[in-house]
Amino acid sequence: MEAILKEYFGYDTFRFGQEEIINHVLEGKNALGILPTGSGKSLCYQIPGLMFEGTTLVISPLISLMQDQVDSLKRRGIKAECINSTMSKQELKKVMTSLEEGQLQFLYVAPERFNNEEFRISLKQASVPFIAFDEAHCISKWGHDFRPSYQSIIPDLKALLPDALILAVTATATEEVEENIQELLDINNEAVTKTSVKRENLKLMVNPTYQREQFILSYIKNHQDMSGIIYASTRAEVEKLSDYLHEYKIENVIYHGGLAKKERSLNQEKFVSDQVKIVVATNAFGMGIDKPDIRYIIHFNLTGDLESYYQEIGRAGRDGLDSDCILLSSQRDINLQQFFIDRATASDQYKDHMREKLDQMIQYNKTNKCLSSFIVKYFNQNEYVEECGRCSSCLSENRTEPMTSEARLILNLVKDLDGKLSKEHIIQVMRGEHADNIMSRGLNKEENFGVLDSYRTSEVNHLVEELVMRGYLHYANYRMHLVEKSFDVLNKKVKLYTVPYRKTYNERVDVSTDSSLNEVLYSKLIDTRKNLADRYKLDEDAIFTDQILKEFAKKMPQTKQDMMHIQGVGNYKLKHYCPYFLEDIQEHAGIK
């Protein structure tokens, strides 16, 4: 394995996560690899492919991405081809013959190719021991770039190639996407390799300026001779911004789906080959771009979700050197993204899901907490995070409010009950709430019970979140744990400051302890969700997550109007699922 890595790719050692993924495949397991953008995901299937007898089939979403991969393999003396819609009949026949005769080590295809009966016949005649799904988030209906064709070919593959091993690789998978991919591709938990999405060399910044064009112009002038991508949401915005830069003698090229294929290819080549340093583009640009020295990525508009944003900024700094990722936005961007969702040809349930994703993107844009920690926690709630110390939030001059004494009180509570308290428990104890779940556990007898009784729920939540996002507390599996950094605060080695939060803190809070979580009701709601999931053949979380059911059990909404105020309850769920839960709540409250 190491010999192949050296001989074909010129590397002496594997990057973190690669070897583990390859070993899962070599052990005969279907596997899933979730690695950050630029961390060498393609090697995870190329190396096993070189070790297996026969042809490795790679499912890939874009012609340009496939062609780049094939060209790269051919330069290394590896027999690789791709099939795409631009090929002539003669070219296609030649590749199919090579496939049937076992002359190919790798064949790249788009999922739509499976609609071709001749291809299916050739595939069945070929020796294909291994299948790789590149950009595997496209498989999941909960992914940011869901392609139904990616999912629809899975039964075909299992029928045509029942003995083939499967590897799925992606950089952008939330926990729900990860679970969905595992279910669809029969991947067990032990064959999942997931490394942190954190990129130490990316400096994340949110700039609230209203003068976005002027900011970009000034930034470029201060970073001359550096390569960068400027993303805009629409073709019109791309062309307008490009013209603006040209007016100030800033050379750039544009890239969007409205350009002729020849012009897109030419502009991409100019950027990759350093003939032009700047490309202004829609999200159509970037996938498969093999340019390691992109020093900055600026988003002129808010993206629709954090997965898309992370994938796009992941194209910066692939050489490991420091690079800037700057988000600009306006209120109009939010309206535009909401318009995109409303106009999408998708189910109401899926639209509600996309609205939730947009809401998270808006929170990233508004948060005063570490941006790096925010992204890491979005993709993996159980990962331990520390403040990066270099993002716009960490460097904010607004961190003037002392919070050391409050932090010690919170950490002392966790120290006494390490691993036994949820975030909600901590807030309730610190505020001195006589809720059922606090009283039944005897938490009202804790020394720190009620020491922050003058603080609002949102204010205590802010303090707890600050400690988590800055690495002084670890929140995993809905429980709080002390870490080594906790004792720097407890032993009075550090002083902590935060943004003013007791009067002006406006960031939306997902936690409410206005009423206690009634555990009897919560248990009933869990049962109702399971029955609905069985009836409609859905994942339980697709109906409502545990967190939303906890909100129901706390707030006890007794009308649909009440339920609409709880985050995660959209129109589809309000109509189809909420009546069942309302019935439980009303019965528990003695209304029925």
Q: Which two tokens stand for residue 339?
A: 């318009």
The pLDDT value given to residue 592: 55
Phi, psi of 80 (to 5 degrees): -140, 145
Q: What is the CATH number of domain 519-588?
A: 1.10.150.80
Q: What is the CATH number of domain 401-498?
A: 1.10.10.10
* Count of CB atoms situated within 10 Å of the CB of 270: 16
The pLDDT value given to residue 516: 55
Q: Is 147 left (phi over 0), alpha (psi -120 to 50) or beta?
A: beta
Positions in the chain whose pLDDT score sits under 70: 288, 503-517, 592
* pLDDT per position as a tens digit, 401-411: 999 999 999 99
The β-bridge relationship of strands 294-299 and 227-231 is parallel
The pLDDT value given to residue 503: 60
Domain 202-372 has CATH 3.20.20.70: no
The pLDDT value given to residue 504: 45
CA distance 184 to 189: 13
The residues near 522 (Cβ < 8 Å, ≥ 6 apart) are: 549, 550, 552, 553
Sequence ranges of the domains in the chain? 2-194, 202-372, 401-498, 519-588
Fold of 2-194: Rossmann fold (3.40.50)
* pLDDT per position as a tens digit, 142-192: 877 788 888 999 998 999 999 999 999 998 888 889 999 999 999 999 999
Among candidate residues 111, 116, 117, the one with its CA nearest the CA of residue 149:
111
170 close to 178: Cβ distance less than 8 angstroms: no
The pLDDT value given to residue 512: 46
The pLDDT value given to residue 3: 87
Question: Which helix H or strand E contains 476, and what residues bound it?
Answer: strand 474-476
CA distance 140 to 175: 11
Would 2-194 and 202-372 be classified into the same CATH topology?
yes
- Please give the model's pTM, rounded to 2 decimal places: 0.80
Kindly report the average pLDDT of the chain as a whole number: 90
Among candidate residues 207, 210, 145, 202, the one with its CA nearest the CA of residue 174:
145
The pLDDT value given to residue 274: 95
Q: Which two tokens stand for residue 462?
A: 């802010």
The pLDDT value given to residue 515: 47
Give the DSSP letter string of 502-541.
TTT-----S---SS---HHHHHHHHHHHHHHHHHHT--HH
247 close to 315: Cβ distance less than 8 angstroms: no
